[in-house]
Amino acid sequence: MTTQYTIVLIAYVSESRIAAEDDFWSRATAVIELTDAFPEEALLGLADFSHVEVLFLFHQVAEEKIVIANRHPRNNPDWPAVGVFAQRAKSRPNRLGSTICRIISVSDRRLTVAKLDAIDGTPVIDLKTRDDSVSASSTVTQPQWTHELMRSYWSSHSDK
Amino acid sequence: MTTQYTIVLIAYVSESRIAAEDDFWSRATAVIELTDAFPEEALLGLADFSHVEVLFLFHQVAEEKIVIANRHPRNNPDWPAVGVFAQRAKSRPNRLGSTICRIISVSDRRLTVAKLDAIDGTPVIDLKTRDDSVSASSTVTQPQWTHELMRSYWSSHSDK
């Protein structure tokens, strides 16, 4: 059985921030620009949605950093040691990131979004419209440690 | 610049349905089982969450079916022709699927979920915990056609 699969990079992130840090993703906007392999019309109609789901690669994570056994998120002993698939840490198999972003504008091959937690140069592998019926917008529960972990995620340094 | 990326398949779907159809995903549950490459503890802690985000491959979509220009979703002329990244159609570059599912149980390497729209044998490429802060659970708007498109998606044939 095949256990690998090859994907193409469909776009790249720019006008975001340069450094990979865990927190403080307060920058207003980022740009996602399709590669030349895709026509401008691949984004046609996207501006009618408020949000887009961005699938991307944590491309700066080194292979040897990927942990598949359980560990304390961010190595914080106050939080339970959990498996890699019970967290959203970037040091994960396949290094895939997924964030639902607010759409600011769509122009030519460029999509400008708010709240994208990906640095400049990040390769994007898919864009999907965010749909209520597959997003479990209600009845969600998650452990307390995840709220603590995300406390400074979308804030600026000065909010510290 | 590299334009391709190789990913590993981390799990497979079973106990779902056999045929790829667009609608009627009412089956109660499906099972996601990690491959031997991953220890049971990779799922440790997941049962403390109500929902998991499942990234998978629409592996039965043939290369020649992939459309990157705009088209009417499901070829329905009543809905606007939109670009491939303004819809969630399975015939898309990289054939990636993404659904947030309710967690029923976690046991050994097996995760049982509700509302997974993936057929038996579907390769899974990531599992992430569903987190309110990256899921845009409020203030979402989407065009009317998407609600119409999804009308029978989670129902059974008999609800028709």
Q: Compute the distance between CA of residue A25 and CA of residue A4 in angstroms, rounded to an integer.
A: 32
The mean per-residue pLDDT over the stretch A112-140 comes to 83
Mean pLDDT of chain A: 85
CA distance A138 to chain B (A): 8
Q: What residues 56-115 of chain B have any CB closer than 8 A to a CB of chain A?
A: 57, 68-70, 80-88, 92-94, 96, 98-102, 115
Chain A residues with CB under 8 Å of B88 CB are 128-129, 131, 134
Handedness of CA B155, B126, B19, B40 (dihedral sign): negative
Does the pLDDT at position A123 exceed 80? yes
What percentage of residues in chain A have a pLDDT greater than 70? 84
Task: List pLDDT tens digits, range A33-71.
Answer: 999 999 999 999 999 888 899 999 999 999 898 988 788
Interchain pair A45, B80: CB under 8 A = yes
Closest CA in chain B for residue A138: B137
**B154 pLDDT tier (thresholds 50, 70, 90):** low
ipTM confidence: 0.88
Q: What is the pLDDT of residue A44?
A: 93
Give the nearest partner residue to A3 out of B9, B128, B142, using CB atoms: B9
Interacting residues of A1 by C-beta distance below 8 A, sequence separation 6+ = none
Tell me what the pLDDT averaged over chain B comes to: 85
At A102, the amino acid letter reads R
pTM: 0.89
Count the neighbouring beta carbons within 10 Å of the beta carbon of residue A42.
25
Would you call B36 an interface residue with chain A, using a CB distance cutoff of 8 Å?
no
Q: Do A84 and B42 touch (CB under 8 A)?
A: yes
pLDDT at A56: 96
Domains in chain A with CATH codes: 11-131+139-154 (2.40.30.70)
pLDDT band at B1 (very low <50, low <70, confident <90, very high): low
Q: Is the pLDDT of residue B155 over 80?
A: no
User: B8, A93: Cβ pair inside 8 Å?
Assistant: yes
pLDDT of residue B47: 92
Query: b/e map of B122-146 (b: 16 or more CB within 10 Å)?
Result: bbbbbbbbbbbbbbbbeebebbebb
